[in-house]
């Protein structure tokens, strides 16, 4: 048994790490965040030029053929830098859904651009009423001649504000929360009837809600088989969970490093505050939360590309549950250990703390995944 | 044992309710209940109404314009005002510096400052903490040197809440470096408009401007602004810190926040049903409601003991820690209740006059920000770790 990355994987992670270190100072991140695009176009371009946006795609598409492990290595470094580029949305989710379910023509049309970073994708899978259940789809796609007419609303589409193409779920049959009857559509951002309400996110990125008012797309926009989208979505969300676990680990690593450093350096009552046992034990607890999260991230990556099974579902639910809880623990206890300074905008720790809480609100929080795990619980 | 209010206390509660029904401006209550931002003007408008009623200074003797309420009456006021959405009074003037001036100040200081606090003419802020002196407050370094009939003040204060609105600051300053840290501190009243004072905002992680740094460079402060004796400031500061003995746990605020949470969870959906009907989520709400119930009774036990002339000890410090944990737990649940919509930060919806479409729930916009902001509850005014140190050292003898 060997839990280390192989040489190639290590090189990949080092490449991302170097790039992030060079381009992503805390000050620059704030600038990127406040720009209209909401992230760095230049950094995104560099990710593309170094082939990092192509990591999960097959070699014939200029990709790397990377698995969940490679994707996770990239995400961990992006997490360490608190990068706000839409890697998860465009590459893992958008590109991932197209490569999983797309026909040759769709792959040809979209994947080259997504893999190179020139085309940006985002996914509209949640709705205002759906909470975290991706089968709770009320957006409708009605057949009309050879076309589909889409009506409805998709919620909290991170990166959707600047995407060229949106992958949205819509119901072609069935009732609100049925798994059957969900279809996926490729909707170009400039489609008539598509409106976006753009907003900043509390952790420094940007997103939008999508309003679909009689958006008409041709049959070629249907991604995968009609009515069979739920399984595709669930599978890809699982890969995205593994990727997000990687990001979370990167964020937690830095949050723990910063806290530990501060405990050694900050003095009160004539001694470093790290001399107070309550803070020592809390730091140990934070580190052991990080270790739990690391282990579950590794486990999640190892099943990300396996065929779907209850075992895969259980592991991914468990992993997301663990990183949700450990992320919140590290965020809250890290702020507390810092005192007032841990709550300030000017100090990077606070931004790591915010990202950790918001990771819990993406793709289902710890409560949601606990419940999911419980329903999959094996009696023996 | 009797856990009921007396007939007089019930009559008082009716009086409070009648007053709030009639006088509390609806726009202000709506902001408070919806966790929206309050402007300086909102605070001042409400303060004026309270002052006119004679209910602003509930900790002052009547001769200075205070109102003499029993601990139970104060408790009733606290409960009712949280329920109605009364803005928290900014404590620095009325509840912090005023009791110190009343107890230790000169007659001139009382005549000068107390009426201006009552009328709202002065807005005070608290200059205790410094970059190097947080939990270890006594290590503060801001220096005041006596020169003739003035002190010359140099140094820096930080975390000064709402200092951007203030025209007065009460400061702990070092007047003697020769003695033990606690023995060389004085309590000075400083006009913020004095030359040499600079206020710089500190933005908190939720993007709010609520705290500040205050810099002092050769600031000339008249010697008559010293409260009590030179080098005795630590005693006054401690008096101030222990002054407010009830209401510290924020029970009323937690009750209001819990009510807000339940309403929110009744509107949000999960599996097509109101979230509050979801077993797991309703149990989480139930758990915090149970904890709050216990804390509320603990609080009443303290109120009753103070009413009977007792001094609360360890219970009030422990309750303060508990109270902050409960409020933070409620904020955590409110953020969870909006699911993915915790992520967008739609600042325009924080404005009560906002008349566009709400992105999700009408009260969703402030929830994540408030969760982050209220991490402060366990840090300021003596962190929870420091509170526990006090209980274990002073009371348990550890
Ligand atoms: C079921 C059982 C089996 C055992 N088997 C063996 C055995 O086979 N061989 C053997 O040699 N011993 C054995 N022990 C003894 C065991 O190692 C001791 O109980 C243990 O080292 C703790 O010592 P103590 O009980 O004297 O508690 P103490 O050391 O007196 O500790 C009391 C409490 O104080 C805490 N404490 C102590 N020092 C600190 C500190 N510096 N900082 C913070 N907290 C502190 C402890 O964590 C504990 O909570 C056994 C004990 C038990 C209960
Ligand atoms: C939003 C906000 C508003 C504030 N408003 C004001 C104001 O208006 N006026 C004002 O004067 N101050 C104000 N403060 C300052 C507040 O009182 C301090 O933040 C607080 O005293 C903690 O100090 P610190 O932030 O320097 O943390 P530190 O004292 O550096 O503490 C860092 C960590 O170490 C722990 N620690 C420190 N000493 C010990 C010990 N002996 N044992 C165990 N653990 C310990 C702390 O609990 C904390 O977890 C405000 C703070 C905040 C965050």
What pLDDT digit, counting tens, does each position of A285-340 carry?
999 999 999 999 999 999 999 999 999 999 999 999 999 999 999 999 999 999 99
Encoded tokens for B362: 């009408």
Measuring from atom 23 of ligand 2, which residue has the nearest CA? B134
Describe chain A by its helix, strand, coil percentages, rounded to 5. Answer: 55, 15, 25
Q: Is the pLDDT of residue B341 over 90?
A: yes
Alpha-carbon span B342 to B347, nearest angstrom: 13
Confidence of residue A342 (pLDDT cuts 50, 70, 90): very high
Q: Is the pLDDT of residue A185 over 70?
A: yes
On whether both A186 and A132 belong to a single domain, the answer is yes
Report CB contact under 8 Å: A268, B129.
no
Among residues A71, A97, A119, which one ends one of the domains?
A119
Alpha-carbon span A152 to A209, nearest angstrom: 11
State in Å: Cα B155 to ligand 2 middle: 18
pLDDT of residue B37: 85
Among residues A62, A92, A119, which one ends one of the domains?
A119
Bridge-based pairing of strands A121-124 and A165-171 is parallel
Q: Which stretch of A134-143, B172-181, B330-339, B389-398 has the lowest confidence by average pLDDT?
A: B389-398
On whether both A192 and A238 belong to a single domain, the answer is no
Alpha-carbon span B381 to B384, nearest angstrom: 9
**Residue A2 in domain:** no
Q: Pick B346's closest partner by Cβ from A128, A199, A332.
A: A199
State in Å: Cα A16 to ligand 2 middle: 37
3-class state of residue A136 by DSSP: coil
- B271 chain-A contacts, CB cut-off 8 A: 131, 133, 136, 177
Fold of the CATH domain B100-231:
Butyryl-CoA Dehydrogenase, subunit A; domain 2 (2.40.110)
pLDDT of residue B253: 92
Q: Which residues of B239-257 are buried (b: 16+ CB within 10 A; e: fewer)?
A: ebeeebebbbbbbbbbbbb
pLDDT of residue B311: 75
Ligand 2 atom at minimum distance from B385 CA: 47
> What number of other Cβ atoms are within 10 A of residue B384's Cβ?
18
Q: Pick B360's closest partner by Cβ from A128, A200, A346.
A: A128
B130 vs chain A: nearest CA distance in angstroms?
Answer: 11
Report CB contact under 8 Å: B270, A343.
no
On whether both A169 and A249 belong to a single domain, the answer is no
Strands (E), B204-332: 209-222, 226-227, 269-270, 273-274
| Start-end of CATH 2.40.110.10 domains in chain B | 100-231
On whether both A270 and A223 belong to a single domain, the answer is no
Structural domain tally of chain A?
A: 3
- B368 chain-A contacts, CB cut-off 8 A: 202, 357-358
pLDDT of residue B244: 53
Alpha-carbon span B386 to B135, nearest angstrom: 7
Among residues A204, A228, A252, which one ends one of the domains?
A228
On whether both A32 and A151 belong to a single domain, the answer is no
The question of ipTM being above 0.95 is answered as: yes
Give the residue numbers spanning the domain of A310: 230-379
Alpha-carbon span B219 to A137, nearest angstrom: 65
Alpha-carbon span B213 to B163, nearest angstrom: 8
Encoded tokens for B234: 């630590």
Q: Is the pLDDT of residue A1 over 90?
A: no
pLDDT of residue B243: 59
Ligand 2 atom at minimum distance from B133 CA: 26
On whether both A239 and A271 belong to a single domain, the answer is yes
> What number of other Cβ atoms are within 10 A of residue A41's Cβ?
13
Encoded tokens for A247: 């990001």
Alpha-carbon span A190 to A209, nearest angstrom: 15
Percent with pLDDT over 90 in chain A: 94
B59 vs chain A: nearest CA distance in angstroms?
Answer: 29
Alpha-carbon span B28 to B301, nearest angstrom: 32
On whether both A224 and A234 belong to a single domain, the answer is no
Q: Pick A354's closest partner by Cβ from B205, B346, B359.
A: B205
Q: Which residue has the higher pLDDT, A60 or A355?
A: A355
User: CA of A208: which chain B residue's CA is closest?
Assistant: B344
pLDDT of residue A380: 62
Per-residue pLDDT tens over the stretch A254-267: 999 999 999 999 99
Q: By the 8 A CB rule, do B137 and B172 touch?
A: yes
On whether both A262 and A199 belong to a single domain, the answer is no
Alpha-carbon span A205 to B343, nearest angstrom: 9
Q: Is the pLDDT of residue A167 over 90?
A: yes
pLDDT of residue A31: 96
Interface of B with A in 255-274 (CB under 8 A): 268-272
- B270 chain-A contacts, CB cut-off 8 A: 131, 133
On whether both A268 and A315 belong to a single domain, the answer is yes
Strands (E), B266-366: 269-270, 273-274
- A355: CATH: 1.20.140.10
Q: Is the pLDDT of residue B295 over 60?
A: yes
The mean of the pLDDT values for chain B is 93
**B interface mutation test: which of A159, A202, A349, A369 has the most B CBs within 10 A?**
A202
pLDDT of residue B136: 97
- A17: CATH: 1.10.540.10
pLDDT of residue A33: 97
pLDDT of residue B186: 98
Confidence of residue A61 (pLDDT cuts 50, 70, 90): confident
Q: B135 touching A, CB under 8 A? A: yes
User: CA of B339: which chain A residue's CA is closest?
Assistant: A131
Strands (E), B223-302: 226-227, 269-270, 273-274
Encoded tokens for A40: 């760095």
pLDDT of residue B242: 65
| Nearest residue to B151 via CA among B185, B125, B183, B123 | B185
Q: Is the pLDDT of residue A155 over 90?
A: yes
3-class state of residue B168 by DSSP: strand
Q: By the 8 A CB rule, do A242 and A301 touch?
A: yes
State in Å: Cα A288 to ligand 1 middle: 22
**Residue A109 in domain:** yes
Q: Which residue has the higher pLDDT, B58 or A170?
A: A170
**Residue A36 in domain:** yes
pLDDT, mean of residues B186-199: 98
pLDDT of residue B315: 78
Ligand 2 pocket test: pick from B92, B133, B138, B383 the residue with the most ligand atoms within 8 Å of its Cβ.
Answer: B383
pLDDT of residue B354: 87
Q: Which stretch of A369-378, B139-148, B270-279, B314-323 has the lowest confidence by average pLDDT?
A: B314-323
**Residue A142 in domain:** yes
Per-residue pLDDT tens over the stretch B244-289: 545 568 999 999 999 999 999 999 999 999 999 999 999 999 999 9
> What number of other Cβ atoms are within 10 A of residue A241's Cβ?
25
Q: By the 8 A CB rule, do A33 and A39 touch?
A: yes
On whether both A115 and A234 belong to a single domain, the answer is no
On whether both A132 and A271 belong to a single domain, the answer is no
Percent with pLDDT over 70 in chain A: 99
CATH architecture type of domain B246-396: Up-down Bundle (1.20)
pLDDT of residue B71: 86
List all residues whose CB is within 6 A of at least one atom of ligand 2: A 266, 268-269, 273, 276, 278-279, 336-337, 339-340, 343; B 126-129, 134-135, 159-161, 211, 376, 379-381, 383, 385-386, 389
User: CA of B130: which chain A residue's CA is closest?
Assistant: A340
| Nearest residue to A193 via CA among A150, A223, A144, A164 | A150
Question: Residue B91 burial (CB < 10 Å; 0-12/13-18/19+)?
Answer: middle
On whether both A198 and A245 belong to a single domain, the answer is no
User: CA of A345: which chain B residue's CA is closest?
Assistant: B205
| Start-end of CATH 1.20.140.10 domains in chain B | 246-396
**Residue A1 in domain:** no
B46 vs chain A: nearest CA distance in angstroms?
Answer: 29
Q: Is the pLDDT of residue B120 over 60?
A: yes
């Amino acid at each position: 048994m060997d839990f280390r990355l192989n040489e190639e994987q290590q090189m990949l992670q080092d490449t991302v790490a170097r790039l992030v270190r060079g381009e992503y100072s805390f000050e620059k991140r704030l600038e990127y965040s406040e720009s209209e695009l909401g992230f760095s176009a230049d950094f995104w371009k560099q990710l593309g030029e170094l082939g990092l946006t192509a990591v999960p795609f097959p070699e014939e598409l200029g990709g790397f053929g990377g698995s969940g492990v490679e994707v996770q290595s990239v995400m961990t470094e992006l997490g360490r830098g608190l990068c706000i580029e839409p890697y998860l949305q465009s590459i893992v989710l958008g590109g991932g859904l197209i490569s999983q379910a797309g026909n040759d023509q769709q792959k040809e049309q979209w994947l080259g651009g997504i893999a190179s970073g020139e085309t940006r994708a985002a996914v509209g899978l949640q709705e205002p009423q759906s909470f975290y259940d991706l089968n709770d789809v009320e957006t409708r796609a009605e057949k009309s001649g050879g076309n589909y007419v889409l009506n409805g609303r998709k919620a909290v589409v991170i990166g959707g504000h600047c995407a060229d193409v949106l992958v949205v779920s819509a119901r072609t049959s069935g009732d609100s929360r049925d798994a059957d009857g969900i279809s996926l559509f490729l909707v170009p951002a400039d489609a008539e009837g598509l409106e976006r309400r753009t907003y900043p996110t509390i952790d420094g990125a940007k997103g939008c809600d999508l309003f679909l008012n009689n958006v008409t797309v041709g049959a070629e926009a249907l991604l995968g088989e009609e009515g069979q989208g739920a399984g595709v979505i669930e599978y890809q969300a699982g890969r995205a969970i593994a990727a997000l676990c990687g990001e979370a680990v990167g964020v937690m690593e830095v949050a723990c490093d910063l806290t530990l450093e501060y405990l050694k350096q900050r003095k009160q009552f004539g001694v470093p505050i790290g001399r107070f046992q309550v803070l020592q034990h809390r730091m140990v607890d934070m580190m052991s939360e990080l270790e739990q999260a690391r282990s579950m991230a590794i486990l999640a990556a190892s099943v990300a590309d396996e065929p779907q099974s209850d075992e895969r579902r259980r592991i991914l639910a468990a992993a997301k549950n663990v990183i949700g809880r450990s992320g919140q623990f590290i965020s809250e206890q890290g702020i507390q250990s810092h005192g007032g300074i841990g709550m300030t905008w000017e100090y990077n720790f606070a931004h790591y703390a915010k990202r950790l809480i918001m990771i819990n609100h993406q793709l289902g929080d710890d409560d949601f995944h606990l419940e999911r795990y419980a329903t999959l619980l094996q009696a023996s | 044992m009797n856990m009921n209010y007396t007939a007089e206390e019930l009559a008082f509660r009716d009086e409070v309710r009648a007053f709030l029904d009639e006088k509390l401006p609806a726009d202000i209550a709506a902001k408070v209940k919806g966790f929206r931002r309050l402007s300086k003007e909102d605070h001042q408008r409400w303060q004026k109404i309270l002052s006119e009623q004679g209910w602003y200074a509930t900790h002052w003797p009547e001769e200075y314009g205070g109102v003499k309420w029993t601990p139970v009456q104060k408790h009733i006021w606290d409960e009712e005002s949280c329920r109605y959405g009364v803005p928290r009074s900014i404590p620095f003037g009325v509840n912090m510096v005023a009791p110190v001036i009343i107890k230790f100040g000169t007659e001139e200081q009382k005549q000068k400052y107390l009426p201006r606090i009552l009328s709202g003419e002065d807005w005070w802020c608290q200059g205790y903490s410094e970059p190097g002196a947080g939990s270890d407050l006594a290590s503060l370094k801001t220096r005041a040197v006596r020169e003739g009939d003035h002190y010359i003040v140099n140094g820096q204060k930080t975390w000064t809440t709402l200092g951007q609105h203030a025209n007065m600051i009460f400061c702990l300053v070092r007047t003697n470096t020769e003695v033990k840290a606690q023995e060389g501190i004085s309590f000075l009243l400083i006009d913020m408009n004095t030359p040499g004072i600079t206020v710089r905002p500190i933005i908190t992680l939720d993007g709010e401007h609520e705290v500040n740094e205050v810099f002092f460079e050769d600031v000339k402060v008249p010697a008559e602004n010293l409260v009590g004796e030179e080098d005795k400031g630590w005693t006054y500061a401690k008096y101030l810190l222990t002054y407010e003995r009830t209401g510290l746990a924020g029970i009323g605020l937690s009750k209001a926040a819990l009510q807000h949470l339940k309403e929110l969870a009744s509107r949000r959906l999960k599996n097509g049903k109101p979230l509050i009907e979801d077993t797991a989520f309703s149990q989480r709400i139930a758990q915090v409601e149970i904890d709050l119930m216990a804390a509320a009774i603990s609080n009443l036990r303290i109120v009753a003991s103070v009413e009977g002339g007792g001094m609360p000890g360890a219970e009030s410090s422990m309750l303060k820690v508990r109270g902050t944990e409960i409020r933070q737990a409620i904020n955590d649940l409110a953020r969870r209740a909006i699911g993915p919509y915790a992520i967008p930060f739609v600042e325009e919806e924080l404005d009560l006059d906002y008349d566009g479409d709400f992105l999700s729930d009408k009260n969703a916009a402030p929830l994540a920000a408030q969760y982050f902001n209220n991490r402060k509850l366990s840090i300021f005014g003596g962190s929870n770790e420091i509170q526990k140190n006090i209980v274990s050292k002073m009371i348990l003898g550890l």
